[in-house]
Structure 1
Amino acid sequence: MSTKVIMTASALSMAIIGVAFSFLPLEFLAYLGKTVDPEMGLMLQMAGALYIGFAMLNWMAKGVLMGGIYARAVVIGNLTHFLVGGLALFKAQLHGNGTVEGWVLTAGYLIFAGLFAWVMVTHPLKATSH
């Protein structure tokens, strides 16, 4: 799988989450059956801003040579986000009332973590020299 596909997929995934959190935070809380709290809505909007920012970073970097030492900061940032987020989601699913949506999100996060780990240890020049 090419880094361009990985970056595009992660950018689109984070953009969808970011837009939902930014523009529909209270509706998202209601969908989850949580108390609709304006302060929590603000926190979701702030998280949405982070997701949109990360999505823009990935979208802008999708054509950049990545792997090994190339674009290492972008790769490490994504790996950290998806690995830590995936582990937190996995723990929450195991210790809470796991939902289908939660398991799908967890799987998506852990798949992206694996893909970014692969990008980190793969040398891009060797991969493109075939």
Structure 2
Amino acid sequence: MSQEKSTDGEESSAGLLNTKLVMTSSALFLGVLGVPTSFFAPEILEYYGTPPEGVEVLFVKAAGAMYLGFAILNWMARGNIIGGIYSRPVALGNFFHFAVVAVMLLKRLILESHSAIIVIAAVAYTVFACCFGYIISTGGQSCG
């Protein structure tokens, strides 16, 4: 595990440990979303009142594959210093994913629904978007 030098010459692993926590937790979060959406798309659509036929099932399964892809990416990159020059694309990809979905969920909360699942998802996506935004802006420094 590599460590960073602090301004007074002491070694510190705070940036690595905190980005590792963000990467690990986001990998687990996306994995938990990815497995059911990949394998139980018709049941998910039925639960939300959408007929499970045609292109809707395909889109839910594609979203599940994207979640699993990001989960694997984050899991495999969790030991890297994220946000620095080498892993900046990982941080940017995660930031844009979490930020765009957070905006969509928050808009839904404001305009339509206040269901518990939407509130929980909006909070989780907003927290991850803020963490990855902070990681990008500080070049991999701690996230909290």
Give the TM-score of the pair, scaled to structure 1.
0.88
1:96 is matched by which residue type in structure 2? E
From the superposition, tell whether residues 51 and 41 of structure 1 become closer, same or farther in structure 2 (CA, over 3 Å): same
State, as a whole percentage, how many aligned pairs show the same letter: 37
Matched, 1:61 2:77: yes
Residue segments in structure 2 that go unaligned for 5+ positions in a row: 1-16
Matched, 1:51 2:67: yes
Q: Which is helix-richer, 1 or 2?
A: 1
Inter-partner Cα distance in structure 1 for 2:115 and 2:50? 14
Residue segments in structure 1 that go unaligned for 5+ positions in a row: none
Instruction: State the match for 2:56 in structure 1.
Output: 40
Shift in Å at residue 69 of structure 1? 3.0
Which secondary structure state, in structure 2, belongs to the residue aligned with residue 2 of structure 1? helix
Instruction: State the match for 1:31 in structure 2.
Output: 47
Instruction: State the match for 1:97 in structure 2.
Output: 113
Superposition misfits of 4+ residues, deviation over 4 angstroms: none
Give the TM-score of the pair, scaled to structure 2.
0.80
2:112 is matched by which residue type in structure 1? G
1:95 is matched by which residue type in structure 2? L
Shift in Å at residue 41 of structure 1? 1.1
Shift in Å at residue 79 of structure 1? 0.5
2:61 is matched by which residue type in structure 1? Q
Inter-partner Cα distance in structure 2 for 1:96 and 1:35? 21
Q: Which has the larger radius of gyration?
A: 2
Shift in Å at residue 68 of structure 1? 4.2
Inter-partner Cα distance in structure 2 for 1:33 and 1:12? 27
TM-superposition CA deviations, 1:66-100 (whole Å, max 9, x none): 23434110001101100111001111222222211
Inter-partner Cα distance in structure 2 for 1:108 and 1:12? 12
Instruction: State the match for 1:114 in structure 2.
Output: 130
